[in-house]
Amino acid sequence: MTALRPLVQVEGLTKTFLSRGAVGGRVQTTKAVSNVSFAIGRSENLALVGESGSGKTTTGRLLLRLLDATSGMVRFDGTDIAALSRSALRPFRRRMQIVFQDPYSSLNPYLRVGDAVEEGLIIHGIGNAGQRRDRVAELFELVGLRAHQAERFPHEFSGGQRQRIGIARALAVNPEFIVADEPVSALDVSVQAQILNLLEELRRKLGLAMLFIAHDLAVVRYVATHVGVMYLGHIVEMATADRLFEATRHPYTEALLSAAPRLELGHGAERIVLSGDIPSPIDPPSGCPFRTRCRHARTECADAPMTLEAVGPDQVTACIRYREIYS
Ligand SMILES: Nc1ncnc2c1ncn2[C@@H]1O[C@H](COP(=O)(O)OP(=O)(O)OP(=O)(O)O)[C@@H](O)[C@H]1O
Ligand SMILES: [Mg+2]
């Protein structure tokens, strides 16, 4: 039973931010994450995709408990970490780590990169000085750098190399789960593939579970085993990666797929241009949040419940019209 249990299990996760509006100073509520549920098993990489402001980063931070949820559950290896005290949370902190988007600003320029990688080991009281030095050397090799480079400072590295250091730092304490929030968005296209390959290799080699956040479906295709598509705080479609790329069952995913520049579109596939901006999460549309930009929307979509329906064993969609649209 334990062996089959997903490492990360999220149920009904919701995060509402309260902020003062620019006009009149009234308190506004932003539902950044709405009733999100999913599971990630060991060696699985769930990619979250969606436009800016759809709630991807907030979801990642809730999973790591860098943010407290408004409601819902985050189980890590069976324990609801959303409810744990600071001290009870400590052992879980080691088991889940984050890789940041920007390898330039996430490394302290005055700290030798080896010391930056060692930091987590010190914080968690792992090993003596000699053992930690050996571990840092091993990590540098693991991420495709040379052990002696640990002596250098961040400015001596390229963007891609810095992201390798960021990954080494996340891996130092032997985590089981990693949140990678747009880990290649700040990198040149030419080095993106190298970092994606590294993440994919580490997932396989170490059995890492991953939440991989991205804008770009082309990037996701390299690494994801599963994909969740987010729109205005909701997951609107989720499937295994193969299934999603082969046969989407949601018009928003369809639009994202058609916009992905480096994906080969099937024969005769048209490019769908989404009209209008994403609505404000402070005042979202009723029913299906995508209906205001959906070319398939009908009046009934204004009352659509935001629940996910199983399309098949490996796919769920929130679109109430998917049968008619994709028949
Ligand atoms: N601390 C905060 N206070 C108030 N609102 C916030 C806060 N953090 C995020 N939000 C709002 O929550 C929503 C979701 O933000 P989030 O950063 O999770 O989106 P995202 O999908 O990661 O976007 P991006 O692709 O731009 O990184 C946005 O409307 C954002 O403005
Ligand atoms: Mg983000």
Q: 56 CA to middle of ligand 2, Å?
A: 5
Closest residue by CA, ligand 1 atom 1: 17
Residue 129's alpha-carbon distances to 91, 118, 173, 244, 261, in angstroms, are: 21, 10, 15, 47, 48
pLDDT over 70 at 265, yes or no: no
Ligand nearest 61 Cα, by number?
Answer: 1
127 part of a folded domain: no
pLDDT over 60 at 262, yes or no: no
312 part of a folded domain: yes
Tokens representing 74?
């985050």
Q: Mind listing the pLDDT tens digit for each residue in 268-313?
A: 556 777 777 888 888 899 999 999 999 999 999 999 998 999 999 9
- Total tally of structural domains belonging to the chain: 1
Q: Mind listing the pLDDT tens digit for each residue in 175-190?
A: 999 999 999 998 988 8
Cα 91 from Cα 52, distance rounded (Å): 32
Q: At 300, which amino acid appears?
A: E
276 part of a folded domain: yes
Closest residue by CA, ligand 1 atom 11: 32
The pLDDT score that the predictor gives to residue 3 is: 54
299 part of a folded domain: yes
Structure-model confidence comparison of residues 262 and 199, the more confident one: 199
Give the residues surrounding ligand 1 with Cβ less than 6 Å away: 17, 19, 30, 32, 50, 52-58, 215, 281
CA-wise closest residue to 21 among 203, 267, 280, 229: 280
Given a contact cutoff of 8 angstroms between Cβ atoms, the answer to whether 213 and 60 are in contact is yes
- Nearest atom in ligand 1 to the alpha carbon of residue 215 is 25
163 part of a folded domain: no
- Nearest atom in ligand 1 to the alpha carbon of residue 60 is 18
Q: Which domain holds residue 283?
A: 249-327
Given a contact cutoff of 8 angstroms between Cβ atoms, the answer to whether 98 and 92 are in contact is no
317 part of a folded domain: yes
Ligand nearest 52 Cα, by number?
Answer: 1
270 part of a folded domain: yes
- Nearest atom in ligand 1 to the alpha carbon of residue 61 is 18
Closest residue by CA, ligand 1 atom 2: 17
Cα 15 from Cα 29, distance rounded (Å): 10
The pLDDT score that the predictor gives to residue 270 is: 65
Mean pLDDT over 47-55 rounds to: 94
Q: Which residues contact 287 (CB under 8 A, 6 or more apart)?
A: 301, 302, 303, 304, 305, 306
Top mutation candidate among 29, 33, 56 for ligand 1, by most atoms within 8 Å of CB: 56
Q: 132 CA to middle of ligand 2, Å?
A: 33
Per the DSSP assignment, residues forming a β-bridge with 33 are: 15
The pLDDT score that the predictor gives to residue 285 is: 92
pLDDT over 60 at 267, yes or no: no
pLDDT over 70 at 230, yes or no: yes
**Helix runs in the chain, H state only:** 56-63, 86-95, 113-123, 129-142, 159-171, 189-206, 217-223, 241-246, 251-259, 322-325
Looking at every residue in the chain, the average pLDDT score rounds to 91
308 part of a folded domain: yes
Q: 90 CA to middle of ligand 2, Å?
A: 25
- Nearest atom in ligand 1 to the alpha carbon of residue 54 is 21
